[in-house]
Amino acid sequence: MPRNNLTDKQKKYVRDNAILGGKALSEALGVNVGQIYQYATDEGFSVKKGGKYDPREKGIRKMTRGYSLWPKNYRLYKKLLVERDGLRCHYCDYLMSYQEAQIDHILAKARGGSDAPTNLVLACGRCNVLKSTLCYDCPEFRDAIGK
């Protein structure tokens, strides 16, 4: 299943009008807001309304500055990751429920990864267990998930 199913015309519209915000873009295009956010994340640009600074990012930076607060703020991290990425597994593109979604470190903490938001993604239970401390590009992991 493709990571998102926006047409090329829709993708161009999202990129050209990102300043409107994800919700406004999803209403204008008649697509799920998660598709908008996922496309923007994959392409590395922001769809924040007005292009303004998002106060949630400041909150995440405060939580990760200097020390780890796992699992104290686990629920907040998960909520912010769902808002950023939607409820699709980062690795196999499985559409999960909120309860099924698990936070995963792209670069495992055992390999020097951090709790920084850029190193966190949502994964389904299967992929999270299979990945364990492997890296995303490790052949063993890629073979296990079938990509």
With pLDDT > 90 as the criterion, what percentage of the chain qualifies?
A: 8
Q: How far apart are CA 141 and CA 147, in angstroms?
A: 9
pLDDT tens, position by position, 11-53: 888 888 887 788 888 888 888 888 888 888 888 777 776 554 4
Q: Given a cut of 60, is residue 145 above it in pLDDT?
A: yes
- pLDDT band at 72, cuts 50/70/90? low
The pLDDT of residue 67 is 47
Quick one: CA torsion of 17, 86, 45, 65, rounded to 10 degrees?
140
**Residue for token digits 């670069």?**
107
The pLDDT of residue 69 is 46
**pTM score:** 0.49
